[in-house]
Chain A
Amino acid sequence: MAGGLRSISMRRWVAPVVLVALAALLTMPWSFWVMTASYEVNESEKSEALAERLRIQLSSTWWWESPQQVLNLMRGELMGDGTVQAVAFLYVHPNEPSKADAYGFVTRNDQVPYPRSMNDISRLINADPNSYRKWYSWPVTKDLRGVVYMDLSRPALRRHFRTTYWPLLQKVVTLTAVGILVISAVGMFVYNLWGREAMQRERAEMEQQGMLAERGLAAAVLAHEIRNPLAALRFQLHSLRRNANDAERVAGAADTIDAELLRIQRLLQEYLVHEKAQTMQVEPVELLDATRRLQTVMSELLQESGTRMIVETAASHVVVACDPHGLRQVLMNLVLNAQQAMGRGGTITVTIGREEGVGTIALADTGPGIPAEMRDRLFKPFATSKKEGSGIGLALVKRFADNFGGGVSVESVEGQGATFTLRLPLVGVGEAITGKALTVSQDAAANRQETDAGIAPR
């Protein structure tokens, strides 16, 4: 329990942190995508007036100015105080004409005249060829596409910060923040849903465990209570062995053993009733109605197996007292049994009738019938002639009928089918049953006390 709680609170800490980290990770590349622009050079534009028309998209991370501003710079419109401290040259890659590279160098604080033409550029390069050729291996003037001057004067830098860097920074911060918020919100929402679901699941599990615990408790009480009579039995058996020749002692021991066995039986009965009472209820059930419902539930199976089901009423409006769901299970069980016995085809005749104090519902099939030697142990658990199945179904049918003060019987002529008759007490017999559910334990306990009264232990 403590471990569970700790793990839950751990999860509460970890989830938001993971979410924010995830959001940041997911948002960052987006920001970079905004920051980074590819640059391209039009192959056909090799004219002298290139600087005017050059469409350059330079990466902002490479260059401190936007492409438009670079163009403006090249036009000399934004030259600040008219001096430059850095020069960049834009080249087409010799092997890959679609790509271009830009190389630049700083002019060691020398003032560089502003070039107006390609001649000016050639002069500029030739003025300091070594410094340039030292860095780059291919011919300088071939494939030259343009020149970019970088104005590193203070007003230019200030302007650059105001126009390019600051908006970009704002954009990146905003995008990242929005991204974190959105992804976190979505994540927390999903996490919340998931958490609530997990909590509900946990609660349901606990409830079930509580039920099981109660059941386990009942079993533990039974196990405890049963040990006293068992111990008494052991001592009586011991006495029997020792005093086998003493008729009086043997009779006394036998009496005690009888009483103790009765006690054990009573304990078991109480336990079973207790267990039953948790799930079963007594309600008035009209048998024809129940049969109709059964037909609806089983219609598909009956159709598939080609089984006919006929309903006959020897009496009308037969209302018995039992658990309706249990009854449906029991009837389904009997129909399945009949269908399995008959195989394909065949007819099941359901007859509803009334006898002294009980309503009857009989299911007759046209199967091979049940051999006489099987009939006696048919309702005991694990007795079956079928290859598959545990053989516990008919035992459950009997237990159900017994539980409600009824019974089940079977009649069969070999080769002519079998008839199972379920008897259940009619409503109004013995005890008036209202529409309200009555737990079985009250009924059964009352019955048991009556029967036990005659057999007082010792």
Chain B
Amino acid sequence: MTETMEAILLVEDDLSLRECLCQFLSDHGYRTITAETARQGWELVREQRPVLCLLDLNLPDGSGLGLLRKIVAEKSGMRVVVMTAFDVKHLRPAGMERVLAGWMTKPVNPMDLLAVVEDVMGGEARPKGSGVRG
């Protein structure tokens, strides 16, 4: 896992879920950068240019939808997977298919998430930490 590796940005305010997700992603060979709030998330988007963002909607400094809109407006080719505890489909904004790689309701099935992440990040083409896989 080198610094040059493309990163996944994880924006999630729940500490233990953030840690679990981090570990899960690194287990599967992905580098993760984390943010607790939408503001932090936006800073990391600007600075580190992650390829994929896993985004929680219910954040302490406002809805993750704001951050999602900013990312969409930027048109940088970055993809977003929304993970929300609100099981409401109508929140899902229209016309974001190019950015939105997935819309998942918590508790997220790890295999579903992995499938989406692999799809976006190029799956097997990514270098993976073989030692972690056991």
* Residue positions of A touching B, CB distance < 8 A: 224-225, 227-236, 238-239, 242-243, 245-246, 256, 259-260, 263, 457-458
Contacts and interface: CB of A to CB of B under 8 A. Distances in A.
A236 B23 CA distance: 9
B14 A235 contact: no
A238 B14 contact: no
B115 interface: no
Interface in B24-55: 24, 27
B130 interface: no
Given A231-B108, A236-B20, 17 more contacts: A227-B85, A228-B17, A231-B17, A231-B106, A231-B107, A232-B14, A234-B109, A235-B23, A235-B110, A238-B24, A239-B20, A242-B27, A242-B134, A243-B134, A245-B134, A457-B16, A458-B16
Contacts of B106: 227-228, 230-231
Nearest to A234: B107
A224 B84 CA distance: 9
A228 B14 contact: yes
A234 B134 CA distance: 20
A239 B16 contact: no
Nearest to B28: A242
A246 B16 contact: no
A231 B134 CA distance: 24
Nearest to B108: A231
B65 interface: no
Contacts of B16: 228-229, 232, 256, 259-260, 263, 457-458
28 contacts: A224-B58, A224-B85, A224-B86, A227-B106, A227-B107, A228-B16, A228-B85, A228-B106, A229-B16, A229-B17, A230-B106, A231-B107, A232-B16, A233-B107, A234-B108, A234-B110, A235-B23, A235-B24, A238-B24, A238-B111, A239-B24, A242-B133, A245-B134, A256-B16, A256-B20, A259-B16, A260-B16, A457-B16
A227 B108 CA distance: 9
B21 interface: yes
A365 to B, nearest CB: 47
Contacts, number: 61
Interface in B4-18: 14, 16-17
Interface residues of B, number: 22
A238 to B, nearest CB: 4
Nearest to A458: B16
A263 B111 CA distance: 24
B16 to A, nearest CB: 5
A121 B92 CA distance: 104
Contacts of A230: 106-107
B7 to A, nearest CB: 19
Contacts of B133: 242
Contacts of A246: 134
A40 B107 CA distance: 96
Contacts of B107: 227, 230-231, 233-234
Contacts of B17: 228-229, 231-232, 235
Contacts of A457: 16
Nearest to A263: B16
A252 to B, nearest CB: 9
A229 B19 CA distance: 12
Contacts of A238: 24, 110-111
A1 B19 CA distance: 46
A440 B58 CA distance: 30
**Residue among A224, A227, A239 with the highest chain B CB neighbour number at 10 A:** A227
Interface string B69-109: 00000000000000101100000000000000000011111
Contacts of A263: 16
A239 B85 contact: no
A33 to B, nearest CB: 67
A236 B21 CA distance: 9
Contacts of B86: 224
A327 to B, nearest CB: 39
A227 B106 CA distance: 6
B83 to A, nearest CB: 8
The 7 residue pairs across chains A and B that have the minimum distance between CB atoms: A230-B107, A227-B106, A231-B107, A227-B85, A238-B110, A235-B20, A228-B14
Nearest to A238: B110
